[in-house]
Amino acid sequence: MQLRHDPTYFAATACLPPERRPALYALYGYVRGADEIADNTALNGQRRDALDAWQLELEQGIERGYSLHPVIGALVDAGPRSGMPLGLLPDYMDSMRADCDDKVRMRSQDQLERYMDGTATVGPVAAPLLDAPDSAIALLRRLGVAFQLTNFIRDVPIDWQMGRIYLPGLEEADLSQRTASAALREHIAQQVTRARELFADSEGLAQLLPAPVRPGIRVARAVYLRVLDRVEENGYDVVTRSSRLRPWEAVQASSWALVS
């Protein structure tokens, strides 16, 4: 599932010690499942109910010690054994519920930051798998926000097709007409600056973690920073020019991260 939907995270996870990977795959499966529910327009007005059921199945599974759902069952099994604080995941689910509106519009930077802070809960939940000390928790969350914001910058056209504008200040006319106006480029430039600030704030994270888990963090950071490079190279035009990396570019960025 992780390889199919998010090859960057798959590559980063593959850099972790083998005994840590199954639990991280289980966590990814749960949050990815919630994301797919929120994106499933076929459910229409039932998406929030489906998210509630997804969350309830995890909570009940934790209480009884098992779940018959294969994805949730894997997390119920891995969570207690690894010490993951699964009680933080409702914050992630709240952000997914925000995606259930027919039109999603983030009207302010504060609203966007609250959404991203919810999705970044995954970092603190995964902290025990990384043997992260308490001093690293805040940096894990900030790195998660940096990842999410970079995704939003890269995926502006895709999100627009789904009725979503996550970045404040973007005009619907620019997106519907596929026009990279000066105003749009300025707003994207501001968000790129914000993303780079978040990456800079979390730069010392890898050094706080045990040596075996540092490569995974470095690979993910390097690939996402390369996406921001591409946005800048394209003159902040995320509407008519793709910000996605070719596979060889992601491999190249990963390789540099591992040897630096």
**182 contacts: CB under 8 Å, gap ≥ 6:** none
What total number of domains does the chain contain? 1
Task: Give pLDDT, residue 227.
Answer: 96
User: How far from 258 is each of 50, 127, 208, 221, CA to CA, in Å?
Assistant: 40, 21, 17, 11
Q: Which two tokens stand for residue 162?
A: 């789904």
Mean pLDDT by 10 residues, the chain (260 residues): 50 75 93 95 88 98 97 96 96 96 93 97 94 95 96 96 95 88 96 98 93 87 94 97 81 64
What domain range includes position 51?
A: 2-259
Say if residues 26 and 77 touch (Cβ distance below 8 Å). Answer: yes
Residue 212 is predicted with a pLDDT of 86
**Nearest alpha-carbon partner for 130 in 71, 216, 65:** 216
Q: What is the CATH number of the domain that holds 153?
A: 1.10.600.10
Q: What spatial distance separates the first Cα and last Cα of the chain, rounded to whole Å?
A: 30
pLDDT at 177: 86
